[in-house]
Amino acid sequence: MTVERTLSILKPDATRRNLTGKINAKFEEAGLRIVAQKRLHLSEAQAGAFYAVHKERPFYKDLVAFMTSGPVVVQVLEGENAVAKNREIMGATNPANAAPGTIRKEFAESIEANSVHGSDSAENAATEVAFFFSGIEIVG
């Protein structure tokens, strides 16, 4: 029984289609708590820095352009095994491979406009949470 925190981003395709409430309901129905949340319009430098790990990938430039194309909602989700649980709730990166009932199956438009980001490990979660939030902004 490990209570964890993970970083979640509702991407520009989700804010554009006014889906933030429907997506947040999926997290809450699955037992995750939103312990911090804010809406931002990322700059190119901010999105580039956040996704720096993908810098050499062919999709990096398009990814940064997409993530700066509209507002995002960044949030910290907390709960039992939050990192793995959130990845289950999101579904596979490519919506074509996502399981029924997952956010990406229901809402994602493409592998790029895939509605949500979630940290892929506890270690990355700590780094990603600290990228967007200070301790005083997280209220468990």
Decide: is 117 part of the binding site for ligand CMP (CB under 6 A).
yes
> At 109, which amino acid appears?
E
Active site residue 54: no
Q: What are phi and psi of 58, to 5 degrees?
A: -65, -25
Angle at 140 between CA 79 and CA 118, to 5 degrees: 45
Work out whether 93 is an interface residue with ligand CMP (CB under 6 A): yes
Candidate ranges 20-28, 34-42, 106-114, 129-137; the one touching ligand CMP (CB under 6 A): 106-114
Please select the residue that binds ligand CMP; options are 103, 114, 129, 133, rule is CB under 6 A.
114
Residue 111 touching ligand CMP (CB under 6 A)? yes
Asked if 109 touches ligand CMP (CB under 6 A), the answer is no
Shorter beta-carbon distance to ligand CMP: residue 24 or 114? 114
- Nearest Cα residue to 50 out of 35, 34, 72, 82: 72
* Closest by CA position to 40, among listed 57, 20, 26: 20
Instruction: List, in order, residues 6 or more apart from 69 with CB less than 8 Å away.
Output: 12
The pair of structure tokens assigned to 106 is 């229901």
**Catalytic pick among 66, 67, 117, 132:** 117
The answer to whether 63 contacts ligand CMP (rule: CB under 6 A) is yes
In whole angstroms, the minimum distance from the beta carbon of 95 to ligand CMP comes to 10
**Beta strand spans in 1-140 (E):** 3-10, 33-40, 72-80, 116-118
- Between 59 and 131, name the residue whose CB sits nearer to ligand CMP: 59
What is the binding site for ligand CMP (CB under 6 A)? 54, 59, 63, 93, 111-112, 114, 117
Catalytic residue positions, numbered: 117
